[in-house]
Amino acid sequence: MDIEIHPLKPFLPKGAKILILGSFPPQRKRWSMDFFYPNLQNDMWRIFGIIFFGNREHFISNRKFDPYRIMDFCENKGIALYDSATSIIRLNNNASDNFLEVVEKVNLSELLMNIPDCKTLAVTGQKALDIVSELIKIEKPEIGNFTEFQYIGRKMRLYRLPSSSRAYPKPLAQKAEIYKRVFDEIL
């Protein structure tokens, strides 16, 4: 089985207040854009559309996500994005976190050194939570909650968000409510 290297560079806008970490992008054949959460079946950008614009389709154009609108939005809001794994092996030739073998984890301290105003991490799903909590050696928060910790000289919080994947059995509106509570606290 082949080792896949992360196909995207970290998105680290100047002044970022939060770093959102997923697990790893899906296979490129599932992408509707060249940016994070690219699969049109993933609800991340619908969640953001609901929270910030009252419109789940806000970031969709011509049946694809609009990466430029998304990047502009994230830059203006101070939202950085990357993933908790930088190389993986797909054990079942799909995007399921259950079948990802992590070969290399993210260098979290290096990412955070590039966004000095960031004092909040948020993970989107169990795999990302497992990886990040192992990296920073803290107790895992429940969905919608946070754990405080010290890291590279910063007092920080790690929030656990529900997965934006449709495979995660929670209605879109409920996911959006949890994300909104977190964003209301930090943005």
CATH number of residue 111's parent domain: 3.40.470.10
157, 146 Cβ separation under 8 angstroms: yes
DSSP assignment string, 128-181 = HHHHHHHHHT-PPPPTT-EEEEEETTEEEEEEEEPP-STTS-S-HHHHHHHHHH
Q: Which amino acid is at 46?
A: R
Report d(CA 138, CA 185) in Å as an integer: 21
Q: How many domains in the chain?
A: 1
pTM for the predicted model, two decimal places: 0.95
CB atoms within 10 A of CB 1: 10
Report d(CA 24, CA 87) in Å as an integer: 8
Termini Cα distance of the chain = 41
Report d(CA 31, CA 129) in Å as an integer: 23
Range(s) of the domain holding residue 8: 3-186
Residue by residue, pLDDT tens for the chain (187 residues) are 799 999 999 999 999 999 999 999 999 999 999 999 999 999 999 999 999 999 999 999 999 999 999 999 999 999 999 999 999 999 887 667 777 899 999 999 999 999 999 999 999 999 999 999 999 999 999 999 999 999 999 999 999 999 999 888 889 999 999 999 999 998 8
